[in-house]
């Protein structure tokens, strides 16, 4: 089966988080020579497959393709059934075609064809890490697999997460890092009262208003060559009882900071405390994910860049933009990791689709990358 045929099979499994729907059995049939074990917990099913190539007295390089088989709910308004893949012109339609069953189909085919090639394969461990809970909370997803692999002494040295990274054309973007995410809930306390007697009230809306310009959209650092500035973005403000004659006792403000490696949670707390000095308030901050960065000069980043350039005939940009992904979890376990996949213009949307040509280019890129990894081992002997 080619990547399009494999993807069509994958899309047909309605794997809305955290459902697995038997998709792993099909995936294992594509790489029957790989050993495998499941790590299932909390209603989430995870699968790890691996194969040792060649013989070596020392531990060989371990490279892993990582991804997720779960998808977000399709919603209404699709032109066709989101779980019955439909080929229209140059595109295959279906939920998960971009995010990220397209990437999974590409690396499955690349691994299969690399192993079937007649090229002398040097000592190397190739593996696949899959989870059915990346789009959800992820509590029992990739992170518990990595914990298990650490105990087994099977943590990869390098990994590629096949998230859809490209923005305008296939091959234009490789993710070498991601910003972290800090969520905040701020409650400003006042004194409720009659609007006709403002001198007897302490209106939290007015208290915030005088300081809002120092919070809304402020950059908490200047960024650097790898990261955009860490910006405080207000997402919700609520106060009052929807009446015109009573000032509120409290005001609730919610915000998010997509933080670079230059700004930590305590930096956010200290800045807000400085802005709100003299006010009575409660502040709750939680770090839902931490930033990470893989050097653009690392062997992995340069190899992916070389494979992309050779296949897609363009020079990809290294980026850390966008939301969070499971790549951050791999990095936290000391795994050198980058992300590369299809375009992301239709992810999570109605009538999600992938360009067939792009899918084939992704497959060829992954195959070229495997040959580069094989060359690394050969050159180091």
Please write the tens of the pLDDT for every residue from 132-159: 999 999 999 999 999 999 999 999 999 9
Q: What is the CATH number of the domain that holds 239?
A: 3.30.70.360
For the whole prediction, is pTM greater than 0.75? yes
On whether residue 284 sits in a domain, the answer given is: yes
Same domain, 355 and 283: no
* Last-in-domain residue among 289, 318, 350: 289
Q: How confident is the model at residue 2 (pLDDT cuts 50, 70, 90)?
A: very high
Domain containing 141: what range? Answer: 3-178+292-374
Q: Residues 98-122: pLDDT tens digits?
A: 999 999 999 999 999 999 987 777 8
The angle subtended at Cα 303 by Cα 229 and Cα 373, nearest 5°, is 140
State whether 27 and 169 are in the same domain. Answer: yes
* Single residue among 230, 259, 289 that ends a domain in this structure: 289
309 and 330 in a single domain? The answer is yes
- Say what the pLDDT of residue 380 is: 53
Decide if 273 is inside a domain. Answer: yes
380 part of a folded domain: no
Per the CB < 8 A criterion, the answer to whether 358 and 171 are in contact is: no
Domain boundary among 270, 289, 308: 289
pLDDT tens digits along 324-358: 899 999 999 999 999 999 999 999 999 999 999 99
- Looking at the fold, whether 156 and 252 belong to one and the same domain comes out as no
Q: Which residues are catalytic?
A: 70, 134
Domain check: are 226 and 208 in the same one? yes
Question: Mind giving me the DSSP string for 144-162?
Answer: HHHHHHHHHT---SEEEE-
Residues 32 and 42 both lie in one domain: yes
62 occurs within a structural domain: yes
Co-location of 197 and 316 in the same domain: no
277 lies in the same domain as 352: no
Q: Does 379 reside within a domain?
A: no
User: Are residue 168 and residue 314 in the same domain, yes or no?
Assistant: yes
Number of domain units in the chain: 2
Among the listed residues 107, 105, 111, 141, the one whose alpha carbon sits nearest the alpha carbon of residue 10? 105
Question: 78-112 as b/e, with b when 16 or more CB fall inside 10 Å?
Answer: beeebbebbeeeebbbbbbbbbbbbbbbbbbbbbb
- Distance (Å, rounded) from C-alpha 354 to C-alpha 16? 19
User: 175 pairs with which residues across the strands?
Assistant: 319, 339
Same structural domain, 206 and 257: yes
Residues 81 and 7 reside in one and the same domain:
yes
**In a domain? residue 381:** no
Q: What is the CATH number of the domain that holds 33?
A: 3.40.630.10
SS3 assignment, position 140 = coil
What are the pLDDT digits (tens) for 18-68? 999 999 999 999 999 999 999 999 999 999 999 999 887 788 999 999 999
136 lies in some domain: yes
On whether both 51 and 11 belong to a single domain, the answer is yes
Say which residues have a Cβ less than 8 Å from residue 77's Cβ, sequence separation at least 6: 350
From the list 126, 123, 156, 159, the residue with the least C-alpha distance to 378 is 123
């Amino acid at each position: 089966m080619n990547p399009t045929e494999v993807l069509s099979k994958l899309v047909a499994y309605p794997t809305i988080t955290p459902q697995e729907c038997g998709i792993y059995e099909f995936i294992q049939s594509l790489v029957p020579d790989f050993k495998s074990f499941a790590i299932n917990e909390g209603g989430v099913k995870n699968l790890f497959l691996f194969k040792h190539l060649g013989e070596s007295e020392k531990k060989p390089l371990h490279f892993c393709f990582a991804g997720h088989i779960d998808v977000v709910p399709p919603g209404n308004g699709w032109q066709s059934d989101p779980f019955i893949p439909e080929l229209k012109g140059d595109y295959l339609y279906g939920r998960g075609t971009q995010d990220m069953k397209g990437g999974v189909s590409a690396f499955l085919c690349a691994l299969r064809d690399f192993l079937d090639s007649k090229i002398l394969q040097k000592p190397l461990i190739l593996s696949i890490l899959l989870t059915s809970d990346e789009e959800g909370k992820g509590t029992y997803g990739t992170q518990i697999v990595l914990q298990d692999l650490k105990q087994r002494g099977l943590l990869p040295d390098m990994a590629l997460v096949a998230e859809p990274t490209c923005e305008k054309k296939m091959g234009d973007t490789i993710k070498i890092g991601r910003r972290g995410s800090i969520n905040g809930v701020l409650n400003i306390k006042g004194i409720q009262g009659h609007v006709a007697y403002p001198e007897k009230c302490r209106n939290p809306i007015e208290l915030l208003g005088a300081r809002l310009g120092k919070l809304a959209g402020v950059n908490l650092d200047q960024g650097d060559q790898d990261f955009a500035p860490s910006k405080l973005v207000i997402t919700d403000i609520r106060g009052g009882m929807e009446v015109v004659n009573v000032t509120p006792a409290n005001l609730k403000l919610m915000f998010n900071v997509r933080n670079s490696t230059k700004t930590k949670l305590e930096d956010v707390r200290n800045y807000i405390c400085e802005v709100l000095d003299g006010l009575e308030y409660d502040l709750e901050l939680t770090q839902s994910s931490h930033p990470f960065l893989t050097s653009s000069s690392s062997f992995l980043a340069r190899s992916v860049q070389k494979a992309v350039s050779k296949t897609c005939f363009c020079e990809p940009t290294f980026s850390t933009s966008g939301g969070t992904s499971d790549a951050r979890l791999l990095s936290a376990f000391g795994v050198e990791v980058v992300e590369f996949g299809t375009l992301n213009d239709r992810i999570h949307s109605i009538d999600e689709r992938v360009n067939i040509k792009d899918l084939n280019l992704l497959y060829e890129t992954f195959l070229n990358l495997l040959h580069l990894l094989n060359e690394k081992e050969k050159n180091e002997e």
